[in-house]
Structure 1
Amino acid sequence: MKAELREIRGIKTYVERHGDGQSPTILLLHGFTGSTSTWQEVIKILSATYQVVVVDLIGHGRTEAPIDPARYRMDEQIEDLHQLLEELQIVRPIVLGYSMGGRVALGYTATYPDQVASLLLESSSPGLRTDEERQARSEADAKLAERIEREGIKEFVNFWQDIPLFHSQKKLSDEQRLAVRTERLSQQTIGLANSLRGIGTGSQRSYWDDLKRIELPVFLLTGSEDTKFVTIAREMEKHLPNVQHETIKDAGHAIHVEKPRQFATMIKSYLKV
């Protein structure tokens, strides 16, 4: 494993590379409150076959958390990824994103479709369709950002781990739940607050209309207990020209955390390697 801090467009960015550099590359993008550590179990399996590149997105993990919320915007993060891949000399990776990271992965693919081999989205969406939906979500995210800054990381994590989206994680072992909580607690207040302001679902543009133009292979993965994102994936299927959707039984939003071996095996099976 090679870990380093690279300056990408003025932001110190933490990145790890695992496996053989001559193998096909899979780029893994974590979700909100996540980091490279969320992928540990998946990396162990995938790095036997692929070069696995994991990055802490802006404001998360060991990557810098600037004070300007505009620096977290989708278009900025897309250009960060573009420069990072160029510097690492990675050509046409397989891009896999979870939740928020999935939205970044989709945005990157819509912007640079010829530079992505295939797109894998775990529990993610193309954003919200209408201005009204985006406005309402943006206002809710702004209030949550203020709450993080007012109450601090620990109080926010106590709240966040109990939202319905993560109820299925209560079935994890004590060790697994502690690892998830520790990862969340390691975040920076300004990083999480500005992520909500800059790249929350209400802040990004909708990519629904872009789906029909994405001709490369797309794999959608959802957990059976995450009914909201199962529904979103089924709707996405109608618009993507080259798509496969699989739902993993008895899993919730964070499939790679809840069922990492099944998740990684399904990824390898889809990629036929």
Structure 2
Amino acid sequence: MKMEIEGVNYHIELMNEDKEQALVFLHGFTGSTKTWHKIVPRFEEYKIVLIDLLGHGGTDSPKDPERYSMEQQMRDLEKIFDHLGLTNFALAGYSMGGRTALAYACEFPGRLSSLLLESSSPGLKTEEQRSERRKNDGRLAERITSGGIISFVDSWEKIPLFRTQHALSKHVKAEVREERLAQNPIGLANSLIGMGTGAQKSYWETISQLQIPVLLVTGKLDEKFTAIAKEMVSLMPNAEHSEIIAGHALHVEKPAEFATIVWEYLKKNF
């Protein structure tokens, strides 16, 4: 379905609409609702809401990078949830979608029953780190728009963060590549500039105030985000951390195992 929010048409998929408890999924950078299709059948007892974030999938790609700010994205999500009548629901996010989900939980904590974060962070701790990241993201955004989507995806597939995906089957790798190639270059570039890790504010000082149940899931082979998750758990009053032998994109590399961990957590912590 399409839903217009502040001049932007959002692509949203709803499943199991007769169910009362809702579970919302937010994808990562270069992803879309399609990234969740293999795991959502595991959650047949929940109303499933899949959303393409700004500049991704079937959602519009505004030309103004400021429209992509984390603050704007959170306000859009709040209006989407209002339109869908969602209250006391579980919110899940992967990587960029996890940053967005965590930011939303910090700003609107009373709306969620639980938070599920896959390979996610609260942002960068210092302004120096954020400034350096903004420069890097700006250069990457320029390469996306000037070099085209194929050239970008060719290089994106080779970054160390995704090295474990080289071992995936040809079929799965082809699916991931197809999803990335389907993106709008303007949307990806503006997403980096507007809501990249360097552009968003840090929530490291805020996460200790989150009282809702939080599940952090990371891959043992993704040392960076596993270390971040362990530090987050030490600061959060009601958080758990699970690890899977995989890399960054657990729902792609180990979909069944990832879905089972989330399902079992929700049974105890919805």
TM-score range (shorter-chain normalised) is over 0.9
- Runs of 5+ consecutive residues of structure 1 not aligned to the other structure: none
8 Å CA contact retained: 2:121, 2:229? yes
Contact 2:29/2:96 (CA < 8 Å) preserved in 1? yes
- Number of the residue aligned with 1:252: 247
| TM-score of the pair, normalised by structure 1 | 0.97
The one-character-per-residue Cα deviations of 1:45-65 (angstroms, maximum 9, x if unpaired) are: 11x121110000010000000
- Matched positions, count: 268
The answer to whether the aligner puts 1:25 opposite 2:22 as a matched pair is yes
Give the 5 Å matches for 1:200-215: 200-215=196-211
**C-alpha separation between the residues in 2 aligned to 1:231 and 1:215?**
22
Task: State the partner residue of 1:44.
Answer: 41
Secondary structure at 2:192 match in 1? helix
**Which amino acid in the other structure matches residue 30 of structure 1?**
H
Runs of 4+ in 1 over 6 A off after TM superposition: none
Asked if 1 retains the 8 angstrom alpha-carbon contact of 2:33 and 2:50, the reply is yes
Give 2:124's aligned residue: 128
CA contact (8 A) 2:30 2:179 kept: yes
**Counterpart residue type for residue 23 of structure 2:** I
Residue 182 of structure 1 aligns with an amino acid whose one-letter code is E
> Partners of 2:194 and 2:88 in 1: how far apart?
27
- List aligned pairs for 1:144-183, cutoff 5 A: 144-183=140-179
Alpha-carbon separation, structure 1, partners of 2:3 and 2:88 = 20
Question: Aligned partners of 2:19, 2:31: CA distance in 1, in Å?
Answer: 28
Give runs of aligned pairs for residues 86-125 of structure 1, distance below 5 A: 86-125=82-121
SS at match of 1:238: helix
Tell me how far 1:96 sits from its aligned partner. Answer: 0.3
Q: Does 1:268 align with 2:239?
A: no
- Kindly provide the CA deviation profile for residues 153-178 of structure 1, in whole angstroms up to 9, marking residues without a partner as x: 00000000110000111111111000
Question: What 5-or-longer segments of structure 2 have no aligned partner?
Answer: none
Residue identity in the other structure for 1:98: Y
Between the two proteins, what is the percent identity of the paired residues? 48
Matched AA of 2:252: V
| Matching of residues 185-196 of structure 1 within 5 Å | 185-196=181-192
Q: Does 1:237 align with 2:229?
A: no
* In 2, Cα distance between equivalents of 1:208 and 1:157: 31
